[in-house]
Structure 1
């Protein structure tokens, strides 16, 4: 049994796509748990409509505590499956995802399966689909660079997730990578499903990372940086922080900060001083070049 858990907040316009993708899985031993998380629109009516249509397959729960982490944890608590498919309400999983990944469970006995996904970016009438493959060569490098899949592309063993107390409900971002980090700290074994795309991750124009709300942008930045500092501390403690990994950590924190200098300049300047990130001149030039290329593309698309 695999439990497919879909947290829903004001999702009336797109949650049907996610639910249909769960119903269309070629692997049939599933249950679907829909968790309404204080929606202010007609989401609950949409969820109940699907529940009425598939009463033996779908359960609807209500989570009064705000946040996707709380909704996922409620679904996890009620799940009957030994494996969990967390599926965000605006995403979709491809029909053979679970069938493929169940075969990996039998073959490799992992606690986490990391899958490929495609970002589907919808903005100003244009649709762009970009494939994202995980780093299967080095687990820690994959974690640092955010290349260990994404919530909806991965498959999670219920026992292993519960062993690290589930999702951190205090976090507003970096949630799945925080969970993966804690699972790795607990010696979870990871398998990779990299032959085909597992999920489509839909993005609109209102991404929180490009929000004009300064407090939200700083909160997201803190979550991103704090996770990597915890990774650094852990790898130091277990004597696995080699020069290459340290350089990668510094490079990605530097790149993340410089990419947000225009949004939160004072925060970025202060953090760069605090972290005392030391990069070669070549690395700094490379990151600045990438930043200005991204800015140019952004200006053209406006």
Structure 2
């Protein structure tokens, strides 16, 4: 029997994308999953859209925040509710390819790895291909991940049966990076990266990556607040991060002819 996979999806005013996101989960070739949607006090039609899916699909579950609590707390509520042997993440505007779970779970079981991620492709807000692919590193060590976040959160899966439930610190941004650092550190093994592109990341006009000052600020807080490093060590790590991000990690994004 297939192991249960818990999929965690926080939502906030996601009416434009949530139907397509949920459909990409429903279309998975791997069938033993539960989708946990956490609504962060949306003010649009997100909830009514989700309710229509829940009427038909009992493995889709909804949690509601009474006030806007942010992505970190919402994800953690989903993790608390998760019953799966594996925990995966999918934001409310991103998409999975149909074979995503099947390929990654098979890899984790065959290779006996605790953390797995994959390459993914970029689309714009309209869902149109940007003809770019972010390549996954085949083997990702903690020391390498500490330099820059090489795991696209929409592709990451960890083995909760082995590692336990790993949660995200309550930071406004980049909390997913800290989660994957914790998972690899606890595992004591390298994360397995898959060359196959198994997901689509939607590049939003207001994304943090489009604002270089925010990129520096929020990544600094990963080291300072998230990991508890001293100011001096945090500054040093940020210098390493900037070098890694612009001269090494940037080369992981390549142009492709088509999706």
Conserved? CA contact 1:118–1:131, under 8 Å: yes
In the alignment, the residues of structure 2 paired with residue 187 and residue 161 of structure 1 have an alpha-carbon distance, to the nearest angstrom, of 7
Any unmatched runs of 5+ in structure 1? 235-246, 260-285, 291-302
Q: Which has the higher contact order (CA 8 A, sep 6+)?
A: 2
The residue that corresponds to 2:45 in the other structure is 42
Higher helix share: 1
1:12, distance to aligned residue in structure 2 (A): 0.5
| Contact 1:135–1:141 under 8 Å retained in 2 | no
* Residue correspondences, number: 240
CA distance 1:63–1:94, shift in 2 (3 Å): same
Structure 1 residue matching 2:36: 3-state secondary structure = strand
CA offset digits 1:216-266 (Å, max 9, x no partner): x55x533312435787969xxxxxxxxxxxx9963533687xx9xxxxxxx
With structure 1 as the length reference, what TM-score do the two structures score? Answer: 0.69
TM-score when normalising by structure 2: 0.79
Q: Distance in 2 between matches of 1:105 and 1:209?
A: 30
- Deviating beyond 4 angstroms after TM superposition, the runs of 4 or more aligned structure 1 residues are 159-164, 228-234
Per-residue CA deviations over 1:16-50 (Å, capped at 9, x if unaligned) read 11100001000011111111111011111111111
Distance 1:178 1:95 in 2: 28
| 8 Å CA contact retained: 2:29, 2:101 | yes
Return the offset for 1:172.
1.6
Q: Which runs of 5+ in 2 are unaligned?
A: 231-235, 251-259
The DSSP-based 3-state class of the residue aligned with 1:186 is: helix
CA contact (8 A) 2:8 2:78 kept: yes
Larger radius of gyration: 1
1:175 aligns with 175
Cα distance in 2 for residues equivalent to 1:44 and 1:180: 29
